[in-house]
Amino acid sequence: MKIGLSLGSGAARGLAHIGILKAFDEAEIPIYAISGSSMGALIGGLYSAGYDIAHLEKMIYELDWKIFTEFFDLKITKSGLVDGKKIENFIYEFVGDVQIENLDVKFCCVATELITGNEVIFKSGSLIKALRASISFPGVFIPAYLDGMFLVDGGLKNPVPVNRLPDDCDIKIAVHVGPFAEKEELVSRYYKNDNIENENNVGFPLSINKFIKDILKLSSGNGTVKYPNIFEILVQSIAILQESVAEYVMDDVECVKVKPDLDNYKLTDFTKAKEIINIGYQEGKSLVRKIIETGEL
* 38 belongs to the catalytic site: yes
Per-residue pLDDT, 185? 53
| Structural domains counted in the chain | 1
63 pLDDT tier (thresholds 50, 70, 90):
confident
Task: Identify the domain containing residue 140 by its residue range.
Answer: 3-181+246-294
Q: Are 47 and 21 in contact (CB under 8 A)?
A: yes
> Is residue 276 predicted with pLDDT exceeding 50?
yes
Residue 261 lies in a domain: yes
pLDDT of 205 strictly over 80: no
CA–CA distance, 248 with 224 (Å, rounded to integer)? 39
Give domain status of residue 221, yes or no: no
- Checking if the pLDDT of 186 tops 80, the result is no
Section 181-199 average pLDDT: 50
- 216 within some domain: no
pLDDT confidence tier of residue 196, bands split at 50, 70 and 90: very low
In a domain, 211, yes or no: no
Helix (H) or strand (E) holding 144: strand 144-146
Q: What is the mean pLDDT of residues 215-227?
A: 55
> With 80 as the cut, is the pLDDT of residue 213 above it?
no
User: Letter for the amino acid at 297?
Assistant: L
Residue 262: CATH number of its domain: 3.40.1090.10
45-54 pLDDT, tens digit per residue, is 999 999 999 9
Contact 38, 14 (CB under 8 A): yes
Asked if residue 147 is part of any domain, the answer here is: yes
Total-model pTM: 0.81
- 29-43, 158-172, 213-227 — which is least confidently predicted? 213-227
- pLDDT at residue 275 above 90? yes
Largest CA distance in the chain: 59
Q: Give catalytic status of residue 269 as yes or no.
A: no
Residue 62 belongs to some domain of the structure: yes
Which has the higher per-residue pLDDT, 180 or 271? Answer: 271
Q: Which residue among the candidates 35, 136, 153, 269 is catalytic per the annotation?
A: 153
pLDDT single digits (tens) 82-100 = 666 878 888 898 889 999 9
The pLDDT value given to residue 244: 72
Q: Give the chain's mean pLDDT.
A: 83
Report if residue 73 sits inside a domain.
yes
- DSSP 3-state of 154: helix
Query: What is the arithmetic mean of pLDDT over 213-223?
Result: 52
Give alpha helix (H) positions in the chain: 16-26, 39-48, 53-62, 85-95, 127-134, 184-187, 208-215, 230-251, 273-294
Q: Which of 6, 35, 37, 38 is catalytic?
A: 38
Question: In this predicted structure, what is the pLDDT of residue 93?
Answer: 87
Half-sphere exposure in the Cβ direction for 95 (13 Å, CA): 28
Percent of the chain with pLDDT over 70: 76
Lowest model confidence (mean pLDDT) among 8-17, 197-206, 232-241: 197-206
* Confidence category of residue 240, pLDDT binned at 50, 70, 90: confident
Whether 162 shows a pLDDT value over 60: the answer reads yes
For residue 241, what pLDDT is reported?
76
Q: In the structure, what pLDDT confidence band is assigned to residue 204 with cuts at 50, 70 and 90?
A: very low
For the CA atoms of 233, 158, 77, 140, what is the dihedral angle to 10 degrees?
A: 40
The mean pLDDT of 62-67, rounded to a whole number, is 63
Question: How many other β-carbons are positioned within 10 Å of the β-carbon of residue 137?
Answer: 20
Q: What is the pLDDT of residue 159?
A: 94
